[in-house]
Amino acid sequence: MTGGSLRAKRSPFAAGRVALTAAAITLTGIVVGCSPTAPSATSSGPPPTGSLAPVATAERSPAAGSGAPSESAAGSPGAGIQVDQGLLDFVPSAVDGVSLTFDPETSASIAADPSVAGDAESLAVALAIAPGSSVADDLAIVSVVRLRDPAKDETWFRDWRETYDTGACAQAGGVVGTAEAELGGGTVYIGSCAGGVRTYHTRLLTAGVVISITALGDRRLGEKVMAALQRGAGG
């Protein structure tokens, strides 16, 4: 099978993964707009689905550790995708003094996209922005996704990473490199965009969860989130 035919075969799944990059594209666009040194580029990805407004005020619920879905995905009848704030138990509540705050609007917008249903059973999105800094300084947007089929193989996960990185780097000069590192007791795949944005991906196999992060800044908040994962959370 050629690389082209393999890509074509996997393309129905790619639509759902592109939807998961929408919030990252939104933030990347703001970063590029704020940074005088970032290269100019036009995104070919999907339009932003969520607003940044709720992120500044939404706090992680005290009940987040219950594991129970906090709300259903509005506007997605039959899709069965839920916004589950309890998934944030897998990530730290703060790194390097920066809190991770649940973003209910972006979470619900992504979950309401029927194209995500093929891969995701539930999801939650959180954002970390360093206090007192602009968005262009230090940030991390964290997506935690529980898979509908935890047995997805490595080929699937590679395509997930490639599709996500292409979308996340669309407004930051494109993907310029990839790497692997051992962080937080597991393998983390790192993508680099020309404009300084980085992506991070890992799988929690026993939990059937994928965590993907888009991050920017010298504080490397994305890397620190991955290093502090609670890989045994959620049973």
Question: Which range is least confidently modeled, 27-41, 69-83, 192-206?
Answer: 27-41
Helix, strand or coil, per DSSP, at residue 84: coil
Residue pair 94/56 in contact (Cβ under 8 Å)? The answer is no
φ, ψ for residue 146, nearest 5 deg: -90, 125
Q: Is residue 168 part of a domain?
A: yes
How many domains does one find in the chain? Answer: 1
pLDDT digits (tens, 9 = 90+) for 134-165: 555 789 999 999 999 999 999 999 999 999 99
Chain mean position to CA 132:
23
Q: Is residue 108 part of a domain?
A: yes
* Residues spanned by the domain of 32: 3-227
Q: Most distant CA pair in the chain: distance in Å?
A: 52
Q: Is residue 232 part of a domain?
A: no
pLDDT digits (tens, 9 = 90+) for 186-195: 999 999 999 8
